[in-house]
Structure 1
Amino acid sequence: MRTAAIDCGTNSIRLLIADVDGGVLTDVVRLMRVVRLGEGVDATGRLSDAALARTFAAAEEYATLIERHGSPPVRFVATSASRDAENRQVFVDGIRARLGVEPEVISGDEEARLSFNGAVSVLATARDETVLVIDLGGGSTEFVAGTMDGLIAARSTNMGCVRYTERFLQDDPPTPEQIEAMDAEIARLMDEAAAQVPLERITKIVGVAGSVTTVTAHALGLPEYQAERIHGAELPISTVSSAASDLLHMPRSAKAALPYMHPGRVDVIGAGALIWRAIVERVAAVTDGRVTTAVTSEHDILDGIALSVAERDG
């Protein structure tokens, strides 16, 4: 059956129209628009008028595409920014008016489940492996451990590339003091996550979402953004760490000139890179050398949403 999935996060809103057959997705349309819905939410607690206008414009574009491709059933999932905003009803009403569907402002646990299902659906994973999926978003980062038989544990943390850029990394490039303060907060939240998610049992770490894929593109030295090379890339932890550090310390002008850098990610990739570096280094340390590489997946919560529609309506 054909399904339509929309993932509206803190930084971007994405559409996937896909045909689903036996749990396998075939893309019809896959699009991303950077709308920065969560701009300023960490400080004000509200979605700004400008951010809402950008998001509604993208929703209108997506509504046209969904109709053009047969008006399949739609699931619209909204994550961290809209969870945090006191005026989220304005967002809900605006999306319903444009797409005819109620946006689901999902919990962190549901976000984690969908991310895990989407990430592992297209990766070759042994049944006895314990996989940690990291979904590094604009406002939150999900830690999800599981096997091919299902989830073991999940924890959603309020750290993300937009939230932490606004909170910590004000200078270009950021100062050592800013990096140190952000690193300390990441460590604190990872301690909380580790109390719930058994990081020491992990045998494979998989990263999803734009910060992770951009760090991977940088590590690979790509001449442009090439999803087919990024997806499934397995890199040594030391390589990931080095690439992340490079992006963290790079001035804005140099990041903007990178051929694989999305313009909407330039301002926030430093924070995303620092979060990803801290996570992979922590997992490598606590697994006593068992985890020495990190895998990148181009498939994530968006794929999980599409699969959930097929399960619900198929």
Structure 2
Amino acid sequence: MKRVAAIDCGTNSIRLLVADIDPATGELHELDRRMTIVRLGQDVDRTGRLAPDALERTFAACREYAKAIKDLGVPGGDRPALRFVATSASRDASNREDFVRGVREILGVEPEVITGDEEAALSFAGATRELTAHEGHGSGVPASAGEQDSGGPDTGLGAPYLVVDIGGGSTEFVVGDREVHAARSVNIGCVRMTERHFTDASGRVPEPGTPTAGQIAAIRADVESALDEVEQTVPLRPADGGDYTLVGLAGSVTTVAAIALGLSAYDSAAIHHSRVSFDEVREITDRLLHSTHAERAAIPVMHPGRVDVIGAGALVLRTLMERAGAREVVVSEHDILDGIAFAVAERAGA
């Protein structure tokens, strides 16, 4: 087993995974997994720059993560077993060198500002490694949040997969089985859509925080346009008329799943590989979009950093499922962060 650390810095959150991994078998033993909402992408869509206070929030989280990495004995030196991957917001910012320099000083590694295609491939690897390992032996994926699985341990889920990672600034779409066949990244993340359509001149979501019908329609139009772009590269329905296993990643999807499951507190184990039907996604999206800020904040599983952006994120998921004809989404707590960790372990074993 190789001890590694992975950091995924996105538009809305920064996350850490420290794990022992066997690259040969794909076994992953998690030691520490944490997430901090830093909103690095604050106003990037409007200004094209990373805001000073957003950078400082991110650097504060990096200092906490550096201590955890050291305390857990992750190897350092000339070839540290740590990889820091930065995604949409830092790709788009004109002052991203300020971000790179700060991360390097705190963590001792160069942050990799990866392309959308690289992000998609890492997300796919992290999300499907367990699923492909179960193919032919029953997927081990539990029944829908609103149903019981009457088919025994073999749920019939398997390749091909459509993996969708709804981030803060962008959303990645990947089709594949044991490897990626096609991928596309488009700028329809939950933070970007909220800032573009739900905020006032000051950049804040005005009270009571309930979007108008016109604002909701504007987001749907953006998402539909982005899906047109996606379908130039990634088919959202299989050419043979069959079905994909739709696998949904990231906080918007996991929060919708937690609501569907009726959890009184966020429970990663219950959420991981749960299945949420399209009808549940549609009902929850409508509820989120027509509730006030206070009502969303009162939902037990709602992270404070997602209260203003969850409606847009859920709407991205709902619109995608409509376009793809998906009857349900399999929710994964394993995503790009796990893909990064596997890549570090494989590099260390080379």
TM range (shorter): over 0.9
2:164 to 134, 142, 146: 134
1:165 aligns with 2:179: no
SS at match of 2:30: strand
TM-score if structure 1 supplies the norm length?
0.95
The equivalent residue for 2:6 is: 5
Q: Supply the distance in 1 between the matched residues of 2:92 and 2:175 (Cα, whole angstroms).
A: 25
1:152: how far off?
0.8
2:91 to 53, 74, 83: 83
Aligned partner letter, 2:267: Q
Q: Supply the distance in 1 between the matched residues of 2:130 and 2:297 (Cα, whole angstroms).
A: 31
Q: Supply the distance in 2 between the matched residues of 1:96 and 1:249 (Cα, whole angstroms).
A: 43
1:35: how far off?
0.4
Q: Supply the distance in 1 between the matched residues of 2:260 and 2:197 (Cα, whole angstroms).
A: 25
2:64 to 61, 65, 68: 61
- Is the 8 Å Cα contact of residues 123 and 232 (structure 1) preserved in structure 2? no
Q: How does 1:1-314 map to 2 (within 5 A)?
A: 1-21=2-22, 22-72=25-75, 73-123=81-131, 126=135, 129-148=159-178, 150-170=179-199, 171=206, 172-201=209-238, 202-284=243-325, 291-314=326-349
Q: Supply the distance in 1 between the matched residues of 2:321 and 2:183 (Cα, whole angstroms).
A: 17
Q: Supply the distance in 1 between the matched residues of 2:216 and 2:112 (Cα, whole angstroms).
A: 34
CA RMSD of aligned residues (A): 1.2
| Greater CA drift, 271-280 or 98-107 | 271-280
1:87: how far off?
0.1
SS at match of 1:121: helix
Q: What's the CA shift string for 1:73-101, capped at 9, x where partnerless? A: 10000000000000000000000000000
SS at match of 1:118: helix
| Greater CA drift, 63-72 or 88-97 | 63-72
1:113: how far off?
0.2
Q: Supply the distance in 2 between the matched residues of 1:282 and 1:217 (Cα, whole angstroms).
A: 23
Q: Supply the distance in 1 between the matched residues of 2:131 and 2:37 (Cα, whole angstroms).
A: 26
Q: What's the CA shift string for 1:47-98, capped at 9, x where partnerless? A: 0000000000000110111111113310000000000000000000000000
The equivalent residue for 1:288 is: none
More helix by share: 1
Q: Supply the distance in 1 between the matched residues of 2:169 and 2:108 (Cα, whole angstroms).
A: 26
Q: Supply the distance in 2 between the matched residues of 1:274 and 1:282 (Cα, whole angstroms).
A: 12
Q: Supply the distance in 2 between the matched residues of 1:98 and 1:129 (Cα, whole angstroms).
A: 41
Q: What's the CA shift string for 1:221-243, capped at 9, x where partnerless? A: 11111111111111221112211
The equivalent residue for 2:152 is: none
- Is the 8 Å Cα contact of residues 197 and 215 (structure 2) preserved in structure 1? yes
- Compare CA radii of gyration and give the structure with the larger one: 2
Q: Supply the distance in 1 between the matched residues of 2:85 and 2:289 (Cα, whole angstroms).
A: 30
* Paired residues, number: 307
Stretches of 4+ aligned residues off by more than 4 angstroms? none
- Is the 8 Å Cα contact of residues 281 and 314 (structure 2) preserved in structure 1? no
1:145: how far off?
0.4
Q: Which runs of 5+ in 2 are unaligned?
A: 76-80, 137-157, 200-205
1:169: how far off?
1.5
Q: What's the CA shift string for 1:138-178, capped at 9, x where partnerless? A: 00000000002x11100000110111100012352000000
Aligned partner letter, 2:212: T
| Greater CA drift, 12-21 or 127-136 | 127-136
Q: Which runs of 5+ in 1 are unaligned?
A: 285-290
SS at match of 2:237: helix
SS at match of 1:97: helix
- Is the 8 Å Cα contact of residues 122 and 340 (structure 2) preserved in structure 1? yes
